[in-house]
Amino acid sequence: MSRDVYRDPLVSRYTSRRMQELFSENTRFRGWRDCWIALAEAERELGLTHLISEQAIAEMREHRDDINYERAEAKERELRHDVMAHVYAFGEQAPSAAGIIHLGATSQFVVCNTDLMLHRTALDYVHADLLHAIENLAAAAEQFKDVPVLGATHFQVAQPTTMGKRLCLALQDLMMDLDAIEWVMGQIKARGAKGTTGTQASFVTLFNGDADKVRALDARVSEKLGFEASFPVTGQTYPRKLDTKIAETLAGIGASASWLGTNIRLLSGLKELDEPFGRHQVGSSAMAYKRNPMRSERMCSLARKLMNLPVDFHATHANQWLERTLDDSAIRRMDIPQAYLLTDAVLGLLIDITSGLVLNRAIVNKRLAEELPFLATEEILMAAVEKGASRQVAHEAIRDHSVAAAHSVKELGQTNDLLERLAGDDRIPLSASELSAIAQTPERFIGLAAIQVDDYLQQVVRPHLDARRQHMVTRDEASRVNV
Amino acid sequence: MSRDVYRDPLVSRYTSRRMQELFSENTRFRGWRDCWIALAEAERELGLTHLISEQAIAEMREHRDDINYERAEAKERELRHDVMAHVYAFGEQAPSAAGIIHLGATSQFVVCNTDLMLHRTALDYVHADLLHAIENLAAAAEQFKDVPVLGATHFQVAQPTTMGKRLCLALQDLMMDLDAIEWVMGQIKARGAKGTTGTQASFVTLFNGDADKVRALDARVSEKLGFEASFPVTGQTYPRKLDTKIAETLAGIGASASWLGTNIRLLSGLKELDEPFGRHQVGSSAMAYKRNPMRSERMCSLARKLMNLPVDFHATHANQWLERTLDDSAIRRMDIPQAYLLTDAVLGLLIDITSGLVLNRAIVNKRLAEELPFLATEEILMAAVEKGASRQVAHEAIRDHSVAAAHSVKELGQTNDLLERLAGDDRIPLSASELSAIAQTPERFIGLAAIQVDDYLQQVVRPHLDARRQHMVTRDEASRVNV
Amino acid sequence: MSRDVYRDPLVSRYTSRRMQELFSENTRFRGWRDCWIALAEAERELGLTHLISEQAIAEMREHRDDINYERAEAKERELRHDVMAHVYAFGEQAPSAAGIIHLGATSQFVVCNTDLMLHRTALDYVHADLLHAIENLAAAAEQFKDVPVLGATHFQVAQPTTMGKRLCLALQDLMMDLDAIEWVMGQIKARGAKGTTGTQASFVTLFNGDADKVRALDARVSEKLGFEASFPVTGQTYPRKLDTKIAETLAGIGASASWLGTNIRLLSGLKELDEPFGRHQVGSSAMAYKRNPMRSERMCSLARKLMNLPVDFHATHANQWLERTLDDSAIRRMDIPQAYLLTDAVLGLLIDITSGLVLNRAIVNKRLAEELPFLATEEILMAAVEKGASRQVAHEAIRDHSVAAAHSVKELGQTNDLLERLAGDDRIPLSASELSAIAQTPERFIGLAAIQVDDYLQQVVRPHLDARRQHMVTRDEASRVNV
Amino acid sequence: MSRDVYRDPLVSRYTSRRMQELFSENTRFRGWRDCWIALAEAERELGLTHLISEQAIAEMREHRDDINYERAEAKERELRHDVMAHVYAFGEQAPSAAGIIHLGATSQFVVCNTDLMLHRTALDYVHADLLHAIENLAAAAEQFKDVPVLGATHFQVAQPTTMGKRLCLALQDLMMDLDAIEWVMGQIKARGAKGTTGTQASFVTLFNGDADKVRALDARVSEKLGFEASFPVTGQTYPRKLDTKIAETLAGIGASASWLGTNIRLLSGLKELDEPFGRHQVGSSAMAYKRNPMRSERMCSLARKLMNLPVDFHATHANQWLERTLDDSAIRRMDIPQAYLLTDAVLGLLIDITSGLVLNRAIVNKRLAEELPFLATEEILMAAVEKGASRQVAHEAIRDHSVAAAHSVKELGQTNDLLERLAGDDRIPLSASELSAIAQTPERFIGLAAIQVDDYLQQVVRPHLDARRQHMVTRDEASRVNV
DSSP string, A3-67: SSS---HIIIIIS-HHHHHHTSHHHHHHHHHHHHHHHHHHHHHTTGGGTS-HHHHHHHHHTSS--
Locate the chain A residue with the closest alpha carbon to C376: A287
Parallel, antiparallel or unpaired: strands D273-274 and D358-359: antiparallel
Query: Inter-chain contact A6–D14, Cβ cutoff 8 Å?
Result: no
- Contact between B254 and B303 under an 8 Å Cβ cutoff? The reply is yes
Query: Inter-chain contact B152–D374, Cβ cutoff 8 Å?
Result: no
Residue B426 to chain C, least CA–CA distance (Å): 46
CATH class of A24-105+194-233: mainly alpha
Considering only CB atoms, D406 lies closest to which of B154, B289, B413, namely: B289
Q: Which entry of D16, D107, D256, D284 is annotated as an active-site residue? A: D284
Residue C113 to chain A, least CA–CA distance (Å): 30
- Contact between C261 and C300 under an 8 Å Cβ cutoff? The reply is yes
Distance CA D461, CA D104 (A): 49
Distance CA A104, CA A96 (A): 17
Q: Give the helix/strand (H/E) hosting B181.
A: helix B163-185
Could you give the angle at the alpha carbon of D180 between the alpha carbons of D178 and D182, nearest 5°?
Answer: 70
Q: What's B285's DSSP letter?
A: S
Residues of A in contact with D285 (CB under 8 A): 196
Locate the chain C residue with the closest alpha carbon to A274: C410
Residues of C in contact with D247 (CB under 8 A): none
- Contact between A63 and A90 under an 8 Å Cβ cutoff? The reply is yes
Q: Does residue D81 carry a catalytic annotation? A: no
C123-141+162-360+452-471 homologous superfamily:
Fumarase/aspartase (Central domain) (1.20.200.10)
Mean pLDDT for D390-396 is: 93
Mean pLDDT of successive 10-residue stretches along chain B, which has 483 residues: 91 95 98 98 98 98 97 94 96 97 97 98 98 98 98 96 98 98 98 96 96 98 98 98 98 98 98 81 52 96 98 98 97 98 98 96 96 93 93 93 89 91 95 94 96 98 97 72 43
**pLDDT tens column, A27-41:** 999 999 999 999 999
- Contact between C225 and C190 under an 8 Å Cβ cutoff? The reply is yes
- Contact between A371 and A416 under an 8 Å Cβ cutoff? The reply is yes
Report phi then psi at A135, rounded to 5.
-65, -45
pLDDT interval class at A474 (50, 70, 90) = confident
Question: For residue A282, is pLDDT > 50?
Answer: no
Cβ within 8 Å of residue C49, ≥6 positions away: none
Query: Inter-chain contact C363–A269, Cβ cutoff 8 Å?
Result: no
Residues of D in contact with A340 (CB under 8 A): none
Compute the residue count for chain D.
483
Question: For residue A272, is pLDDT > 60?
Answer: yes
**pLDDT tens column, C411-450:** 888 989 999 999 999 999 999 999 999 999 999 999 999 9
Q: How far is CA A118 from CA A69, A195, B274, C136, D464, in A?
A: 20, 21, 39, 55, 49
Which of D258, D289, D313 should we substitute to test contact with B (largest number of B Cβ atoms within 10 Å)?
D289
**Which pLDDT value is given to residue C283?**
43
Residues of C in contact with D235 (CB under 8 A): 166, 169
Considering only CB atoms, B251 lies closest to which of A300, A314, A455, namely: A314
Residues of D in contact with C241 (CB under 8 A): 173, 176-177, 252, 255-256
Q: Against a cut of 0.80, is the pTM above it?
A: yes
Domain A108-191+237-359+452-471 has CATH 1.20.1740.10: no
Give the dihedral sign, CA C299/C305/C311/C312.
negative
CATH class of C23-103: mainly alpha
Residues of A in contact with C409 (CB under 8 A): 271, 363
Query: Among A479-483, B84-88, C185-189, which stretch is predicted with the lowest mean pLDDT?
Result: A479-483
Question: For residue C299, is pLDDT > 90?
Answer: yes
Query: Inter-chain contact A304–D292, Cβ cutoff 8 Å?
Result: no
Please state, as a whole number, how many other Cβ atoms lie within 10 Å of the Cβ of residue C286: 12
Chains in touch with C (≥3 Cβ pairs < 8 A): A, B, D
- Contact between C312 and C327 under an 8 Å Cβ cutoff? The reply is no
**pLDDT tens column, A304-315:** 999 999 999 999
Residues of D in contact with B414 (CB under 8 A): 362
CATH class of B22-103: mainly alpha
Work out the percent of chain A whose per-residue pLDDT is above 90: 91
Locate the chain C residue with the closest alpha carbon to B197: C285
Residues of B in contact with A201 (CB under 8 A): 159-160, 445-448
Which of D154, D409, D418 should we substitute to test contact with B (largest number of B Cβ atoms within 10 Å)?
D154
Query: Which of A275-279, A373-377, A472-476, D405-409 is modeled with the greatest confidence?
Result: A373-377
**Which pLDDT value is given to residue D285?**
39
Query: Inter-chain contact C308–D303, Cβ cutoff 8 Å?
Result: no
Residue D210 to chain A, least CA–CA distance (Å): 25
pLDDT interval class at C483 (50, 70, 90) = very low
Residues of A in contact with D312 (CB under 8 A): 304-305, 308
Considering only CB atoms, D259 lies closest to which of C187, C263, C320, namely: C320
pLDDT interval class at D481 (50, 70, 90) = very low
- The count of CB pairs under 8 A between chains A and D is 173
Q: Does residue D317 carry a catalytic annotation? A: no
Distance CA A385, CA A382 (A): 5
- Contact between A207 and A280 under an 8 Å Cβ cutoff? The reply is no
**pLDDT tens column, D276-294:** 976 444 443 345 567 899 9
Distance CA A400, CA A418 (A): 10
Q: Which fold has domain D108-359+452-471?
A: Fumarase C; Chain A, domain 2 (1.20.200)
Q: How do the residues of chain B divide into helix, strand and coil, expressed in percent and rounded to 5?
A: 65, 5, 30
**Which pLDDT value is given to residue C144?**
98
Query: Inter-chain contact A5–D14, Cβ cutoff 8 Å?
Result: no
Please state, as a whole number, how many other Cβ atoms lie within 10 Å of the Cβ of residue B50: 7
Cβ within 8 Å of residue C363, ≥6 positions away: A410, A413, C270, C271, C272
Q: How far is CA C293 from CA A149, B315, C261, C277, C281, in A?
A: 22, 19, 9, 10, 9
- The count of CB pairs under 8 A between chains B and C is 172
Distance CA C338, CA C333 (A): 9
Query: Inter-chain contact D214–C168, Cβ cutoff 8 Å?
Result: no
Question: For residue A1, is pLDDT > 70?
Answer: no
Query: Inter-chain contact B325–C297, Cβ cutoff 8 Å?
Result: yes
Q: Which fold has domain A364-445?
A: Ribonucleotide Reductase Protein R1; domain 1 (1.10.40)
Query: What is the ipTM score, two decimals?
Result: 0.95
User: So where are chain C's domains?
Assistant: 23-103, 123-141+162-360+452-471, 364-445
Q: Which fold has domain D20-103?
A: Fumarase C; Chain B, domain 1 (1.10.275)
Question: For residue C86, is pLDDT > 80?
Answer: yes
Residues of C in contact with D346 (CB under 8 A): none
Which of C314, C327, C350, C453 should we substitute to test contact with D (largest number of D Cβ atoms within 10 Å)?
C314
Distance CA A184, CA A181 (A): 5
**Which pLDDT value is given to residue C147?**
98
* Residues of C that are catalytic: 154, 284
Which of A188, A197, A238, A391 should we substitute to test contact with B (largest number of B Cβ atoms within 10 Å)?
A197
Report phi then psi at A238, rounded to 5.
-75, 160
Distance CA A342, CA A336 (A): 10
Query: Inter-chain contact C304–B331, Cβ cutoff 8 Å?
Result: yes
Which of A167, A210, A233, A311 should we substitute to test contact with B (largest number of B Cβ atoms within 10 Å)?
A233
Considering only CB atoms, C292 lies closest to which of A156, A315, A399, namely: A156
Residues of B in contact with C308 (CB under 8 A): 308, 311-312, 315
Distance CA A370, CA A440 (A): 9
Query: Inter-chain contact A268–C155, Cβ cutoff 8 Å?
Result: yes
Considering only CB atoms, A248 lies closest to which of B198, B202, B248, namely: B248
Mean pLDDT for D224-234 is: 98
Question: For residue D139, is pLDDT > 60?
Answer: yes
From the options 1.10.3720.10, 3.40.1190.20, 1.10.1740.10, 1.20.200.10, give the CATH code of B108-191+231-363+452-471: 1.20.200.10
Report phi then psi at B342, rounded to 5.
-60, -45
**Which pLDDT value is given to residue D463?**
98
Q: Which entry of B107, B284, B431, B436 is annotated as an active-site residue? A: B284
Please state, as a whole number, how many other Cβ atoms lie within 10 Å of the Cβ of residue C437: 13
Cβ within 8 Å of residue C438, ≥6 positions away: C376, C379, C380, C383, C430, C444
Mean pLDDT for A80-98 is: 96
- Contact between A93 and A310 under an 8 Å Cβ cutoff? The reply is no
First to last CA, chain B: 25
**Which pLDDT value is given to residue C27?**
98
Query: Inter-chain contact B307–A318, Cβ cutoff 8 Å?
Result: yes
pLDDT interval class at C1 (50, 70, 90) = low
- Contact between B385 and B391 under an 8 Å Cβ cutoff? The reply is yes
For residues C275 and A481, the model is more confident at C275
- Chain-centroid distance of CA C43 in Å reads 39
- The count of CB pairs under 8 A between chains A and B is 281
Q: What's D433's DSSP letter?
A: H
- Contact between D249 and D184 under an 8 Å Cβ cutoff? The reply is yes
Locate the chain B residue with the closest alpha carbon to A309: B311
Work out the percent of chain D whose per-residue pLDDT is above 90: 91
